[in-house]
Structure 1
Amino acid sequence: MSTESLTQEISARFSDIASDAPLIADCVSICQNYSLTPEDLQYKWEAHNFRPSATRSEISPYTADSLTTLKLQIQRERATKSALPREPRTSLVASLGGFRNRNLGSRANVPAHVKLEPAADGFSMTGIAGPSKVAFHGPSTDANARKKRAYRYMLEKPSERGDVLDDRIDEFAGRIRAHYDLSDLGDPSASTTDNITVVGRIIQDDDAAESAKLVEGAIALECSRAMGYGARVALRFDWDLKIRGGPQGSGSTTFFPGAIVALRGKNGGGGYFQVSEILTLPPLLPSTLSAKQDPSDPFSVFIASGPYTPDADLGFRPWRTLISKIKETKPMVVLLLGPFIDALHPLIKSGEVDSTPLNLFRTRFADPLSKYLDLVPGSVALIIPSPRDMISNHAVFPQCEFSADAARGDPRIHLLPNPVCFALNGITFAATSVDTLFHLKKGEFVRRGEEVNAMPAMMGDSGTDPMANVCRHLLQQRSFYPIFPVPLELAAEVALDVTHSSGLRLGGGDEDKNDASESAPDVLIVPSRLRQFSKTVYGTMALNPSFVSKAAYMILDVAGRESDGKPRLSARMEKIPAKGE
C-alpha cells in the first residue's frame, strides 16, 4: 500500500487525530516498518489505550505518548517472538483454543471492537476483564498537559521568580480585601499615624542566621512591588496582640518563612512595623464535587509512603510484607507515594547495588502490583513519585509523573505527578510525597494573642493541637509547599522550582479561577516523619501514613455518604508486623 493510501485510511480510522499531521505520519511509519495494515494498528492501539477503571468500553485519547509506548510494545513482541523456538504446527482450532485459555480467559466482559493481543513483559489481560468499581479521575493525560508538567528546569530567571512571588502576594491581597471587606491596603514601609492593613510574605530578618527557624526580633514582612515596591520591613508585636478570625480555642498564631499574612498596625518611623492585630487567612471552601455524585459502593484505599526499605539494606522486607497484606485484604485502590528507589539511601549513595534503578522499581513494585491487580479484577494502583526517586528524570518540585515504561505500560497502574489532586467515586483527594509538615515545623514561630471573632470548629474537626494546626496552614495558604525558601538543612530533599509553583496550588487547577479551584479536598495525604496521625481540619481529613520503612501505613475506608452528601470516611493507622509475628 502506498504512503498516500496509508495516510488516507489511517486518517479515516482515527478521525480524532486526522488534523494532527505529525502524528498521522508516525502512524504511517509504524505501519510500513512493521508490516501492519491500518486495521491492525487500530486494533493494537485500541487495546493499548483500553482503560478498565472507568466504563467497560472506554478508550483513552490517541496521543503521541501512547503511540510511542505502543511502538515499544510492538518491538518487544517482535523480539520475544523471534527469540522463541518454533513449535510444531497444530490445528487452527487447537491454536485458538490454547491462545484463549493461556492469555485471555473469557472474552465476555471485553468490548467487542477491541482486538486483544498477546501482551509483552508478562502483562496479562486476564486481570482487566471487567470495569472497576472505583471511578478514577485524575490529571489530564493528553500530550500538552504532560509536556506542561514535564517542564524544563534550571532555567529560572530572577525576574520570573520575582513575578511569581509577587503574584502570590497580590492574589492573597485581593482575597483578604474581599473576606474582611476592606476598602484598601497599605504600605508597611511608609510612616503613618493611623493603623493600616498590610499583606505580605514572612521572611527571616537576620540574613546571617544559620537556622531556618524564626525567632522573636528577627521576623520581617516582604511586600509585592505593586503594594510596597518590594520593601522588607521588620516586625514588632504589641503586648496585647489581637488574632482575628482564627480557630476558636487556639489563642495563638504561627509564622514560618514564606507564609502569606495579613497584619494591622502602623509604622511610626522607627524602621519597623508595629503589629497590633493579625487577620487570619480565610480557609478553602468545603468540597462541592463529592456532594454532586450519586452514592457508591463502599471501598477501601491502602495508603503507603516511602522509603520502603530501612537504611541498613535494600531487601525491601517491610514492602514485601505489606504487599502480602494487600493481597490478603484485597483493597480496590492501592496508593503508593515515593521515594521508591531512594537516591538518599546509604547503600545506593555508596554504589553497593547490582541492578539499575528501573529494574529495581519494576521487580520490587511494578511487577508485584500487576500480579495483585490480576488477582483482584477491577482494582487500581496509583503511583506518586518523589524528587528523591532515581527513576524520575524530573528532580524538581512540582514534579511530573514517571514515564509509562516504568510500569511496563500497565493501564491499571496510574502514574501521577507530585503533588496531585484526583477523585475516586467523586471523593476528592490531594496528595504529595514531600515532607512539607516537617519542613514547616522546622521554621515555625508561635505568637500568642487575644482571640477576636474566632471561627467555631466544624463538626468533627480535631481542634487546635499542633498536628492539626500544621495541616491548617496548607489549607489556608492554598499550597502543598507554602515555605520559601526551602530550609537549608533540608535542601537535599526537595529542589523547589518557584517559577512553576502554580503546580503546587492546593484546591484546584493553576489557571482555573472558578469556584471549583477554591474547594478543599475531602482527603489530604501528607506523609511525614512526624508522628502518624489522622486529623480533620475545616472538614478535610488530613492523613499522615508515615513511612513503610518505619513499618507504618494507613487504610482509608469509604462507606457511603451522610445525609448532606459528604462521604463517610474512616482512617485506620496500621503497623507492618515484624518477621515472625
Structure 2
Amino acid sequence: MTVDNEFRKEVSNRFGSSSSLTDEVYEKIEELKSTFNCSVEDVFVQWEAYNVTEAFDDLELNIGNLSRLAQFMQTSLSSKNIKTTTPARKLKDARVTRNLNHASSPLGATPTHKKRKTEAVASSPNGSGAPSSVPDYSSPTKPTVESHTILETLNDTVRLSEGYVQLQEDASTSIKPFLMIANYDAAKYKFRTMQMKLLESADVLDEQIDNATQLFQDATKSPEGEPIQISNPCLPSQFEVYTCGRIVPDSPAYNLSQSLNKSSLYLETSRFTGIGQRIPLDLTQISGYSFFPGQIVILKGKNPSGSTFVVSEVFPLPNLPSGEMTREEVNQYKELYHQTGLKIVVLSGPYSNSHSLDFSKFESFMIKLNDEIMPHLVICHGPFIDLNNECIKSGSIPLEDDNSKQNLRNLDEVFTKFISPIFKRLNSRILVVLIPSVRDSVATHCSYPQDVFDRKSLGLPKNVHVHPNPSSFSINDVLIANSNLDIFKDIKEVFSPGDNVSSDRFLRVTKHILQQRRYYPLFPGSKNNSRFVQHKDSTLFDGALATDLVDIQPGGSNLEVPYLPLTEVGEIAPDIMVIPSELKYFARIVDGVVTVNPGSYIKHLNEKGNDSGSYAIISVEAPSLDSLEESEDSLFFKLVDKRTRVDFYHS
C-alpha cells in the first residue's frame, strides 16, 4: 500500500512531523483510518486517549504501539455499541462478562494534543528492533524513574531560586521575602448550590455574548472610523456582515463523548442580537480555526440563502492587558525578594492511591519541603480526600485503633485525621494555599465555582490559607491565577491547522482561556471525568435501576451557571496561571502568561508502587529596572514570563 504526500502531511500536522517515520507507520495509520471509517484527527484522538487512560505514558509512535492502539479502538467501539443496544436492566449482567481491564473512554474522547516524538522504533519481543509477525498486546514496559528527579524545565536560563534560606533562623530576626494579597471577593462565593433558575442562567449566558461584542467594538473600528455594527446572522444577507455568538453543537442531546466536525457547528445569538436563534455555520471558505462548544466568537460572513451563515473570516477577541508597575514598586519588590528570588511549589491531588488512604508519600514530601526545597509558598490543589477513593466509597476507613474509627462521625473528621496532621508537620514559615476540587469530600460546594474549605473546623494551622476555586492572588509583583477544573482534558475542538492556529493543543487551549477570559470556557461542561463510568452512564438516559447506579462515581465539571461570572479571569492578565490536569505535566508561555499544569502528584489509577506522578517548582527572579520595559505612561511591564523558571519533578 502506497501513501501519498498529502496524507503524510496530514499525519505530520496531527502527530508532529518527524523524518524518522517509516512507510510502515504511515500505512498502519491509513489502515486504522479505513478500518474504523474515521479521519486522521480521530485516530490521533484515540492515540492520545490510549496514552492517557491505558498506557499512562508518552509512547513512541511505532508499529507495536499502533497495533495496541487498534485493539484499544476496537474495545472502545464495542463498549460504545453495548451502551446503545443493551437494555438498562441487563447492563449490570453485561458488565460482569466484559473485560474491565480494557474499559476505556468512548470513541472520540479528547485528551491532550501536542507534538510527540515520533521516532519509528518498532517494538518486538526479541528486542531486535524489527516488527514482530505476531503483535504483542501486552502492556508496554515503563522505565523506572527515581523520585524527585527532574523531568523537564521551562526557561532553564533563569537562575533557580535558593528558597527560604532563613527558614531555620529565628522568626523575629529573619526577613519576610514576600507580600501576599488575595485578589477575589470571598463573600461572593457564599452562595447555595443546586438552586439554578432558567432565567438567571440565560441572563449569564447572554451577558457573555454581549460583553464580547462590546470588547470587540471598543477595540476595532471600521475603515471609516466608526464602531463596527454587529448584525443578526439568521437574517438573509447578500453582503458580508459582522456577528457575535456562541458556538453550539447541532443537537440538543450532544454530550462530550460524541465527536464534532465542521459540519455540526451552529452559532447561537444573544436575545438582543438575534432573539437567541441558532444557525448552522459553513466553514468551507476559511482555514486555520479552532472551535469548541461554548466558545464566544466574532465572525464575518453572509447568509445568502437565509438558512446557513457562510463564514469568511474569524476575528480574535482582544487580549487582556498586562500588569504594570511604577518605579517605586519595582524597587520595593526588589528589596522584598532579598536577592534569593521567589520559590513556589505547585501540587495537584490526589495524594493517595485510589485503592487506599495511604498518605505516607505526601507526608514524606512535607519533610523534604522543610529540609531541602524550602519554598516560600506551596500551592496544593485538591482532591485531598477523594470521593472516588475506594475506601471512601465503601466506608472502610483504615485505622489501627478501633476506638478512633468509631469516633469518626463524618468525612470532615477523616480529613482531620489524615490530612491536617501532615500540614502541621510543615514549617510554619512556609505559606500554604489550598484550592478545593469538585471531587473533595470536605468541600462546601460540589459544583464549580467553589467556596473555600472551612479551615477552623478542619484543624489546619495558621500558615495554611484557604482560597476558592477558581481564584487569584498576588505574591509580591506576581499575579497567580488558580483554577482546579480540568479544561485541558474536557475540551473538544473542531480544529484545522493554519498560520494563526498552533498545532500544539496546550497552546491553543491556553489561548482560548485568555481570549474567552474564563478559566473554563467550555459549555456545556463535562459529565464525568472518570473513564471507569463512561461505559455505564448511558443508563441515566434510559431509566436506570438503583443497582445500575451503585458504581456511578462523582465527577464532571458540575457548572453552577448563574455564578459563572466568578470563573472569569479578570481585567488584567495573570502572570502565572496554574490549571491542573490529569494529562501529562506541561508549561507554556502564551501572550506573556506562564501556564503550568503540574500533573497529578499520585497517579491514582495505578497500583501502589507504580503510582508516582509529578509536581512543579516555580522560580521567579526579582524585578530590575535595567531589565524591564518602560511603557508610554512611564510605567514598567512586569515581564514575569522572562524571569520565571518552571521545573517538573517526578514525585
Q: 1:174 aligns to what?
A: 214
Aligned to 1:391: 442
State the distance in 2 between where 1:129 and 1:213 align: 61
Q: Which amino acid aligns with 2:452?
A: E
Q: Which residue of 1 aligns with 2:563?
A: 500
The change in CA–CA distance for 1:318 and 1:430 in structure 2 (over 3 A counts) is same
CA gap 1:129/1:153 in 2 versus in 1, 3 angstroms: farther
Q: Distance in 1 between matches of 2:236 and 2:196?
A: 35
Alignment pair present for 1:136 and 2:180: yes
Instruction: Name the CA distance, whole Å, in 2 between partners of 1:313 and 1:198.
Output: 53
2:484 alignment partner, SS class? coil
1:371 aligns to what? 425
- The yes-or-no answer on 1:357 pairing with 2:394 is no
Cα 1:318–1:494, aligned 2, differ >3 Å: closer, same or farther? farther
1:139-194 superposed Cα distances (whole Å, 9 cap, x missing partner): 46xxxx44421211222210111011001100000111222314201101000010
1:254 is paired with a residue whose SS is strand
Alignment of 1:259-274 (within 5 A): 259-274=295-310
Q: Distance in 1 between matches of 2:347 and 2:355?
A: 20
Distance 1:469 1:533, change over 3 A: same
Which residue is 2:542 aligned to? none
Match of 1:237 in 2: 283
SS in 2 for 1:302: strand
- In structure 2, the CA distance between the partners of 1:399 and 1:197, relative to structure 1 (3 Å rule), is same
Counterpart in the other structure of 2:48? none
Q: Which amino acid aligns with 1:159?
A: L
- Decide which of 592, 607, 612 is 1:539's aligned counterpart: 592
Does residue 558 of the first structure (1) align with residue 609 of the second (2)? no
Distance of aligned partners of 1:358 and 1:132 in 2 relative to their CA distance in 1, 3 Å threshold: farther
Identity %: 28
Q: Could you say what secondary structure the match of 1:174 adopts?
A: helix
Secondary structure in structure 2 of the residue aligned to 1:368: helix
Q: Does the 8 Å contact 1:555/1:571 carry over to 2?
A: yes
Amino acid at match of 1:478: R
Q: Summarize the Cα distance change of 1:209–1:183 in structure 2 as closer, same or farther, 3 Å threshold.
A: closer
Q: Is the 8 A contact 1:339 1:433 kept in 2?
A: no
2:573 alignment counterpart: 520
Q: Which digits, 9 at most, give the CA deviation of each residue in 1:476-517, with x for residues without a partner?
A: 1100111111123448232111101111011x2xxxxxxxx2
Match of 2:348 in 1: 305
The one-letter amino acid of 1:351's match is G
1: CA distance between counterparts of 2:325 and 2:455?
Answer: 29
Matched, 1:447 2:515: no
Partner of 1:222: 268
TM-superposed CA distance for 1:309, in Å, is 1.0
- SS, match of residue 372 in structure 1: coil
Answer whether contact 2:439 2:446 (CA < 8 A) is retained: yes
Max radius of gyration: which structure? 1
Checking the alignment, whether the CA contact within 8 Å between 1:318 and 1:548 is kept in structure 2 is no
* Equivalence for 1:44: none
CA–CA distance in 2 between the matches of 1:304 and 1:216?
A: 37
Question: Residues of 2 paired with 1:414 and 1:129: CA distance?
Answer: 23
Whole-angstrom distance in 2 between the partners of 1:127 and 1:343: 39
Any idea what SS the aligned residue of 2:344 has? Answer: strand
List runs of 5+ in structure 2 lacking aligned partners: 1-169, 222-226, 398-404, 530-553, 604-612, 629-637
Unaligned runs of 5+ in 1: 1-125, 243-251, 456-462, 509-516, 577-581
C-alpha spacing 1:206/1:302, structure 2 compared with 1 (3 Å): same
- 2:512 equivalent in structure 1: 473
Residues paired across the two proteins, number: 412
Cα distance in 1 for residues equivalent to 2:597 and 2:262: 30
CA displacement, residues 2-58 of structure 1 (integer Å, 9 cap, x when unaligned): xxxxxxxxxxxxxxxxxxxxxxxxxxxxxxxxxxxxxxxxxxxxxxxxxxxxxxxxx
Give the residue type in structure 2 aligned to 1:553.
Y
> SS where residue 548 of structure 1 aligns?
coil
Taking structure 1 as reference, are residues 165 and 289 closer, same or farther at Cα in structure 2, changes over 3 Å only? farther
Kindly indicate whether the alpha-carbon contact (under 8 Å) linking 2:378 and 2:431 is maintained by their aligned counterparts in 1: yes
Distance 1:311 1:129, change over 3 A: farther
Within a 5 Å distance, the mapping from 1:145-224 to structure 2 comes to 145-181=185-221, 182-210=227-255, 211-224=257-270
**How far did residue 209 of structure 1 move?**
4.1
Q: Which has the higher contact order (CA 8 A, sep 6+)?
A: 2
* Aligned alpha-carbon RMSD (Å): 2.3
Looking at structure 2, the residues matched to 386 and 532 of structure 1 have their Cα atoms a distance apart, in angstroms, of 18
For residues 343 and 289 of structure 1, do their structure 2 counterparts lie closer, same or farther at Cα, with a shift above 3 Å needed? farther
Q: CA 1:553 to 1:352, structure 2 compared with 1: closer, same or farther past 3 Å? A: same
C-alpha displacement of 1:445 = 1.0
Q: Which residue of 418, 421, 424 maps to 2:469?
A: 418
Find out whether 1:571 has 2:646 as its counterpart.
yes
Structure-1 separation of matches of 2:359 and 2:326: 37
Q: 1:346 pairs with 379, 382, 390, which one? A: 390
SS of 2:596's equivalent in the other structure is strand
Query: How many Å apart are 1:333 and its aligned residue?
Result: 0.8
